[in-house]
Amino acid sequence: MHLRHILRALGRHRIAAGLLVLEIAFSCAVVCNALFLIGTRLERMQRPSGVDETHLVEVGVRSVTPGTPEAVMAQTRTDLARLRALPGVSDAVVASPIPFGDSVSFSGVSLSDDAKAPSMPVAQYFGGVQLARTLGLKLASGRWFTPDEFVSYDALQGGASGVPVIISRALAQHLFPGQDAAGRTIYAFGANRVVGVVDRLVQPRDYGAAGDYRYAMMFPVDLPYSRGTYLMRVDDPARRQAVIGQALQALKADGPLRLISPRYATTLEAARAKYYVNDRAMAWLLVGVSLLLLLVTALGIVGLSSFWVGQRRRQIGIRRAIGASRRDIRTYFQAENFLIATGGIVLGMALAYGINLVLMRHYELGRLPGYYLPLGAIVLWTLGQLAVLGPALRAAAVPPVVATRST
């Protein structure tokens, strides 16, 4: 078309055109990176925990008057029987820690019993007989714990030997690459035989490098309620709140003075939402900032295009008078905007890449995937065309008679 003319005309407005190019470039760079950050946050928030979250509720009970360990354990068994008897509850267990809970605990794991052998910290879960069933975990290989394998917490800490362990598949692949981990031995609490590998089990909270999130292990431990949290599996997710209420009542019904409060009782879904609340806030903030940025950029385009239209009224009139159609005038401004946007986008891509490199150095962030660049380009081209539409239509409406007037 008449690209050559457009370029020559832009050459007469170098400063203004340059500013628009820079503004678009900056927007493009920031928006590309913001979209990428939003993507990583969403991805993080959607990481599965491997646990059947929709069916789980948790109720924490704090002990007040210390009883003998035997008495606390007996109380725990009574509580569990009551909780399992609640309508709609299929399993209940005391576990520690719980997914998305406040605490996380680690043990050093090595592949030899030499105290000098290199060890890596691995997140651990302790829980009673129904742990795996309550959590709804899926076995990848090996078997579950058998009821006779469960030991007391003090026995485990006190060096009970031969306690079996179930580990997550990611951990199994890390420790025994290319082999079946079931049947092998790891050293955490003395020697622990790996009896099973679960498909997925993650740290209760993020800790350490992002890649470590999928490393976790479970030990068969009968915990007293004072050392853990009651987890219950509810058949019908709609009844979770009702079950929490009934569980609190059932626990209050007997036993010694204890802290039993709705504050420590929640669904696992709510716990997950609470855990990721910062990520969600950050994602929304990035969405808001990106939209504002695009708005400001659009305002800039509208402003400058209007100025150019006003400045060129006479030329437009002349062009109209010598035969250009309204469509010609409109497409002229649209093509001009397309050229400027393209310039901005090309520059913006380089800038986006540069910003990403800086972010990668300072934050735990990956490389900007290639598809964000065309995505950003399409967004800014569309934005430019939308913003210029008003001024371009106004330009097209300039009557040819303007050519005969002096200003």
Partner 1 sequence: MFTYYLDLALRSLKRNKVLTALMVLAIAVGIGASMTTLTIVHLLSGDPLPGRSSVLFFPQLDPESPVSQGHTQPYPMMDYRSAVDLWSAHRADRQAIITSSSAKVRLPDSGQPPLMLGLLSTSADFFPMFDVPFQYGSGWSADDDAHRARVAVISAGLNQKLFGGADSVGRILRVRDTDVRIVGVLKPWRPTPLFYDPWSQNFSKTEDVFAPFTSSLEINQGNFQPYTCWHVPKDPRDMVHADCVWVWLWVELGSPAKVRDYARFLDHYADTQKAAGRFAVGSERVRLRDLMTWLTARGQVPDDVRLQAWLALAFLVICLFNAVGLLLAKFLRRSGEIGVRRALGASRGAIFAQCLVEAGVIGLLGGFFGWVLTLLGLWLVRHQPVDYAHLARLDTTMFLATFALAVCTSLLAGFIPALRASRVVPGWQLKAL
Residues of this chain that interact with partner 1 (CB under 8 A) are: 15-16, 19-20, 22-23, 26-27, 29-30, 34, 37, 62, 64, 106-108, 115-116, 118-121, 154, 157-159, 189, 257, 259, 277-278, 281-282, 285-286, 289, 292-293, 296-297, 299-300, 302-304, 306-307, 310-311, 359, 362-363, 406-407
Alpha-carbon distances, residue 28 vs 16, 181, 251, 373 (angstroms): 18, 48, 58, 9
Question: How many other CB atoms are there within 10 angstroms of residue 222's CB atom?
Answer: 20
For partner 1, which is the closer residue by CB, 4 or 14? Answer: 14
As measured in angstroms, the least distance from the Cβ of 32 to partner 1 is: 12
134 or 356: whose CB is closer to partner 1?
356
DSSP H or E segment with residue 194: strand 190-198
Using CA atoms, how far apart are residues 305 and 312, in angstroms rounded to an integer?
10
Choice between 183 and 366, CB closer to partner 1: 366
Pick the closer one to partner 1 by CB: 142 or 224.
Answer: 224
From residue 67, alpha-carbon distances to 6, 95, 214, 254, 396 in Å are 87, 20, 37, 15, 88
Question: How many Cα atoms occupy the beta-carbon half-sphere of 37 within 13 Å?
Answer: 25
Q: How far is the CB of 279 from partner 1 (least distance, A)?
A: 9
Judged on CB neighbours under 10 Å (0-12, 13-18, 19+), 155 is: middle
Min separation Cβ 299 and partner 1, Å: 5
Distance of closest approach, residue 90 Cβ to partner 1, in angstroms: 31
Say if strands 106-109 and 120-127 run parallel, antiparallel, or are unpaired. antiparallel
Q: Two tokens at 96?
A: 């520690």
- Nearer to partner 1 by C-beta: 144 or 187? 187
The smaller minimum CB distance to partner 1, of residues 249 and 307, is found at 307
CA separation for the pair 301, 281 (Å, rounded): 30
What residues pair up with 190 in beta bridges, in sequence order? 188
Residue 57 region by backbone torsions, left for phi larger than 0, else alpha for psi between -120 and 50, else beta = beta
CB closer to partner 1 out of 159 and 370: 159
The minimum distance between CB 302 and partner 1, in angstroms, equals 8
At 383, which amino acid appears? L
Nearest distance, CB of residue 363 and partner 1, angstroms: 6
**From the CB of 162, what's the least distance to partner 1, in Å?**
15
- CA pair distance 193, 182, nearest whole angstrom: 8
Retrieve residue 68's tokens: 């003998």
